[in-house]
A = this chain, B = another copy of it.
Amino acid sequence: MEHLAHAAACYYRSFAVVAAGQGLTLIQGKMLSLLGRPLPMRALAELLGCDASNVTGIVDRLEARGLVRREAAPADRRVKTVVLTPEGEEAVRRIRADIVAGLPGLEQLDDHDRRTLQDLLDRAFPHTTG
């Protein structure tokens, strides 16, 4: 049990360090990595588990750095879709690369172990239950 706590702490610390290496916050890095495809603000709020008004500020700051762009959705003119700019995509790529580089313990697991770990995590934290 505290093993889980330790693992989660290590993962997030690594993520925070990597994000900080690019002048980003943990939550900003998290948001960028969610933007594999354009998403409306509302969807981001639910994925991040926070208030919509919070997303406004985070996107503001990311937009100010040119990592993200707000686009008006044609179907529903209320929604604003958030899209990664090329610089944003580059940032995501660097974050992913740095993350795996920053978790050397993962590299030492062979394929069988990784599949086992993946399976156990899936069962312990099913995707249906937040």
Contact = CB atoms under 8 A, between A and B. Distances in A.
Given A13-B130, A49-B13, A116-B116, A6 B105 contact: no
Contacts of A116: 116, 120
A62 to B, nearest CB: 19
Contact of A120 (B11, B113, B125): B113
Contacts of A104: 129
Contacts of A57: none
- Interface of chain A: mostly helix, strand, loop or mixed: helix
A78 interface: no
A8 B129 CA distance: 14
Interface string A2-26: 0111111011110000000000000
